[in-house]
Chains A and B, each alone.
Chain A
Amino acid sequence: MPKGLLLGKNFSTLLYIMIRVRAYLLVSFLLLVQLSQAQTNNIYVINKGTVRFYSEAKQELISASSEEIKGAIDLGKKSFLFKIGIASFIGFNNPLQREHFNENYMETDRFPEATYSGKIIEDVDVSKNGEYDVRSKGKLKIHGIERERIIKAHIICKNGTIKIECKFIVPLADHDIKIPRIVMDKLAPDINVTVVATLIPNS
């Protein structure tokens, strides 16, 4: 059965669908300040990126994405910051779902952004074309709650640009996002997030 149909049938219960999103990064104010002083060729900023999340629950699959991820990596310091506006996620099964996502679950007006900042554990040499699996470690802040996380990323360096691909899980409970019992079957307790972003040297 196509998902849309299911949605249509249970329109009222669907209201509860929520999603949570996970976050993605972006240029921190701090990094921007450092930018002006640092060697610019060590700083890479996101040129283009997509953050997608999906919740795979018994009765329903919900997914949404946003291209408004911002962020930067300082390879000299091996640090990074990414952020994304929660309100920018689109692609829900219906508009009401998106409204619930923003109002009931993510409380977007109180916590408009998700951020992830920290450090990169492994070394990456961007001067050569190649692929790396690295771990990032830092604080993932969603719904105002910060969690220390280690998130693996696949990095592809090509001609001076960096492409990052990563996939991780956000347990809703970790970020104090409460699911009403009535939508338990429609919303997974663990949300899958994928991030794909291309970074270029900051000019």
Chain B
Amino acid sequence: MMRIARFIFLLLFLSTSLDAQVPFSKDYTLSESNTPSKINAIVQDDIGNIWLGTDIGLYTFNGQVFIKISDSINKAVTALAYKQNRIVAGYSNGKVVEIVNYRATELHISNAKPSSSITSICLDASGMMFLCTEDEGIFLVLNDIGQNLNTSKGLPDNFIYKVSVVGDKRILLGSDNGIADIDWANNKTAISLSTTAQGLPDNIVRVIKSIPHSSLYWLGTQEKGLALYNKDTKKVWVPEMDGQWAWGQVNDIISISAHHNIAITESGYLVNIDLKDSLHIAAKANFFPNKKLQKLLLDKAGNLWVATDQGLTLISSEYISYFKLEFPYALRKVTAIACDKGNALWFAQNNELYSISLNEAGKPPLHVYNAEATITSLYVDKEDRLWIGTFGKGLWYRTNNGAITRAIGPEVLKNESILNINGTESSLWLAGLNGLEELSYPTALNKQIRPIKHYSKGSGIGTDYVYELYPDHKGNIWMATDGAGVCKYDGKNYYHWNFFSKLKNEVAYTVSEDAYGDIWLGTKDLYRLHKGYWQNMRAAEMPANLDANISAVIANGSGQVVSVYQRSMEEWYPKSNCFRHFNRKLGLGIDSTPLVLNCVTKDTAGNIYVPFEKGIVIFNKQDSLYDIRPSVDITNSSVYQKNITDQRHTFPYNENDISFHFKGINFTNPEQLNYRYMLRGYKERWINTNDESVTFPRLPPGDYTFIVQASLNNDFRNANEDTYSFVIATPFWRKIWFVSSMIILLILLAYLIIRAREKRLKNMSKLQEERMVFEYEHLKSQVNPHFLFNSLNTLTNLIEENKDTAVEYTVNLADLYRNMLAYRDMDLILLSEEWEILNDYFYIQKCRFGDALNLVTDIPEKVMNSKKIVPLALQLLVENAIKHNIVSNSHPLTIWIKGDENEISIRNPIQEKMSKEKSEGIGLKNISNRYKLLTNKRIKFGVEGGEFIVILPLL
């Protein structure tokens, strides 16, 4: 019994405190096996990656996959912080890591470091890191040197939940025993404490969050909800609200502006808080059953991410939510919709008119009226009258006292089939099957409606069928027509643009104006009139996203344009220059049938309402400028498939096979990510791809910049990009210094070769010359009359004495001359050959002088046949010895010839003749010159111990 009573009470309570508008949400689990894992911390970096600290480690999420960042700690990650490209994670054992390039490196803190679980981390602009712990107070870490503040230094408690940097050298801590405002600006630490005695509702303060553009901070407590703290006055107070805080322990808060704050609780509530003034708040909650909401993040695209004990939940409330019709109520076919000035929504399902109040949750639509025919159009005018257009039964309206009556006026209103109703300040405009009627509004005194003007095919519209009318802010009436495309009427003239007639389709279904004054037109495509030109806004969209059957287009109060198709919706983000697509792929449960997704309306605040099966979708006017463009990050680069782990940007010439891996980051429509890239310095041409890596094999040396861009469609004009510049070094042999020194070397070499060759030629010609001189002289000497006379004389004597010897002598003489002729033009001859000449010559001389002339030789046989000598040198030297010395029986002359491996020596005692034979003196000189030309070995000659010695080198 008690339980039932409590349940009823709970229901009553919930119905008043819960928000009538429910966000769409989508749950993610970290692993493919869908095992729930508790997420303790969440941050987003500047590129857009979401970082998650979980019980099972550190993860990063790009919208499509969760990637685990391995660390060496293997404990639960309990805190994360991001500032200025620095990501720091704290663990349940007090360890801290920093993440660089998707790699975690433990920070080694010296002096004082935590050993208990890190509850939160904060980084300030100076690089100081604040670590809050469960049992040890707070650690201030600068340049890896830690300093500990705990109860012994004046902190209220050692369990610190949260730190917030209040200013330079000033922080605010939340603990189990109130808050501490710590200031150490003047070299001395001043701690100011606030507890329940100072007005804190609860001493356990788990969250501290600054409210932008104010001195105020939200304090989130364990059981008493929210409080405010003013950093200037150091005062704490509890703002008033209707009822009590009923949503449990506050786990996180984000503050977008004073009027827009979101708190989440352990009990599963997401509470939207409006700080009306510093003393009053209004709160509305959404409930997420079976989840403990831990931490909150608002990403750049307006997605709210909630870290829970089960995983990660995406919440759409910043841009889209819905008014939920209680089960089993479902919309079947919605033919018209309008929003009145009191935020009641009116809609028609065929003949039936319903209303719902957007401020009350959980109530089914109220049936208001049963019309005589299908209601085709609803319009709320400036006086909050609801105009009801029917198909075939004319025009009706509802006054603000609730009565619905037929419009009294021209006959045509009674049976007209109305397609659309709209209004300007002074006139009511009606589009029907017979063209356009401009009518006066009824007044309190005169209910009669007066026709002002009739517009038709004949008057200039070009057709009688106008599907939709839109008066723009300049007073023009825009018409979406069947048969004449879009038509503008400025009060005098009609303007037509049949720009899409090439499609053989002159039907326009819907026309609207956006917050910038551009006109939007729905045909088979979606066009925008911007600066005088119509553009097809969906030209760059992926074919898979194109839903041809547009039913409505409308702009919200913050510039986004919503177009509704039979099976999907799109929201144009003008600043991002792309669409956010709401379709089945998104997994938010927005899909609906074409009969319901049929019409749109807008409230006075600029929110857009679209009926769908489960209720009414609300496209919120967006206070913040969200950017839904994807970003892209080059996650690593590799050379020959080996990752570049250092920060290298220069590679040797042979490391020229370079791959880049990149990933797009997008949480809006990640399935649509596509990329284009260019390698500047290689090919100045964009290449489109769906792959997330690219390889450039065999790059020539040079300076390159790799650029990759990501987009959700085929239009990259406004895309985010990432770049990586690198250099492939020129090999040393292609460097200028090397090439030029090589050229110089070559020239030098050629010069040397030429010079050497010239020298050699010169030597050769000189040798030639010498040889010719020698030959001449030698021949001359051999045909010298003395020699001939002596030889012939000797021969005469021999003929007389011994015929045989004479014959031999003659043969020798002949041999001598023949050999001399044979060898004379050679540069070198074998020693044995020279020896033969010498023997012939000596035989002749021996015959002449007999015992007075002796030759003693000592030359090894081996040398004879291996060594060479200048031809006729020995013969010449022997001849000289005979020529210059006395050879007689009383003074016999003995010539010694001795040789070894290297040289040969010719010696004879000096017994100078009184009268010298005439000599040219060229013998020794000629031999010496010839040696000079042939070799660097020199001949030696001179007098030693009464002997004349000549030493010839052997070659």
Q: A119-B176, A121-B177 are in contact. Are A150 and B204 (CB under 8 A)?
A: yes
CA distance A135 to B196 in the complex (A): 14
Question: By CB atoms of chain B within 10 A, which of A119, A121, A122 has the most?
Answer: A121
- B204 pairs with A135, CB closer than 8 A: yes
Q: Which residues of B contact A150 (CB under 8 A)?
A: 204, 222
Q: Which residues of B contact A119 (CB under 8 A)?
A: 176
- A137 pairs with B134, CB closer than 8 A: no
Q: Which residues of A contact B203 (CB under 8 A)?
A: 121-122
- B159 pairs with A137, CB closer than 8 A: yes
**Consensus secondary structure, chain A interface:** strand
Tell me the smallest distance from the CB of B223 to a CB of chain A, in Å: 7
Interface 1/0s, chain B 25-69, versus A by CB < 8 A?
Answer: 000000000000000000000000000000000000000000000
CA distance A135 to B134 in the complex (A): 17
User: Is A148 in the interface zone, CB < 8 Å from B?
Assistant: yes
Q: Which residues of A contact B177 (CB under 8 A)?
A: 121
B 222-236 contacts with A by CB, 8 A: 222-223
CA distance A119 to B175 in the complex (A): 13
CA distance A119 to B203 in the complex (A): 13
CA distance A121 to B222 in the complex (A): 11
- A148 pairs with B134, CB closer than 8 A: yes
Q: Which residues of B contact A135 (CB under 8 A)?
A: 204, 222-223
Number of interface residues of A (CB under 8 A): 7
Q: Which residues of A contact B159 (CB under 8 A)?
A: 137
Tell me the smallest distance from the CB of B78 to a CB of chain A, in Å: 11
Tell me the smallest distance from the CB of A49 to a CB of chain B, in Å: 25
Q: Which residues of A contact B204 (CB under 8 A)?
A: 121, 135, 137, 150
What is the number of contacts between chain A and chain B, taking CB atoms within 8 Å?
15
CA distance A39 to B203 in the complex (A): 26
CA distance A148 to B222 in the complex (A): 14
CA distance A129 to B408 in the complex (A): 79
Q: Which residues of A contact B222 (CB under 8 A)?
A: 135, 150
Q: Which residues of B contact A121 (CB under 8 A)?
A: 176-177, 203-204
Q: In the complex, which residue of chain A has the Cβ closest to the Cβ of B117?
A: A148
CA distance A122 to B223 in the complex (A): 12
A 124-168 contacts with B by CB, 8 A: 135, 137, 148, 150
Tell me the smallest distance from the CB of A122 to a CB of chain B, in Å: 8
Tell me the smallest distance from the CB of B132 to a CB of chain A, in Å: 14
CA distance A135 to B159 in the complex (A): 15
Tell me the smallest distance from the CB of B500 to a CB of chain A, in Å: 61
Tell me the smallest distance from the CB of B211 to a CB of chain A, in Å: 27
CA distance A121 to B204 in the complex (A): 8
Q: In the complex, which residue of chain A has the Cβ closest to the Cβ of B119?
A: A148
A 92-133 contacts with B by CB, 8 A: 119, 121-122
Q: Which residues of A contact B223 (CB under 8 A)?
A: 135
Q: Which residues of A contact B176 (CB under 8 A)?
A: 119, 121, 137
Interface 1/0s, chain B 194-231, versus A by CB < 8 A?
Answer: 00000000011000000000000000001100000000
CA distance A135 to B949 in the complex (A): 129
CA distance A137 to B204 in the complex (A): 10
CA distance A150 to B221 in the complex (A): 13
CA distance A67 to B159 in the complex (A): 32
CA distance A150 to B177 in the complex (A): 13
CA distance A148 to B204 in the complex (A): 14
Q: In the complex, which residue of chain B has the Cβ closest to the Cβ of A152?
A: B223
B 651-708 contacts with A by CB, 8 A: none
Tell me the smallest distance from the CB of A5 to a CB of chain B, in Å: 25
CA distance A137 to B206 in the complex (A): 13
Tell me the smallest distance from the CB of B75 to a CB of chain A, in Å: 14
Interface 1/0s, chain B 172-206, versus A by CB < 8 A?
Answer: 00001100000000000000000000000001100
CA distance A122 to B222 in the complex (A): 13
CA distance A148 to B161 in the complex (A): 12
Q: Which residues of B contact A122 (CB under 8 A)?
A: 203
Give me 8 A-to-B residue pairs in the complex whose CB atoms sit less than 8 angstroms apart, sorted by A's number: A119-B176, A121-B177, A121-B203, A122-B203, A135-B204, A137-B176, A137-B204, A150-B222
**B interface with A by C-beta (< 8 Å):** 134, 159, 176-177, 203-204, 222-223
A121-B204, A135-B223 known; 7 new pairs, CB 8 Å cut-off, are A121-B176, A121-B177, A121-B203, A137-B204, A148-B134, A150-B204, A150-B222
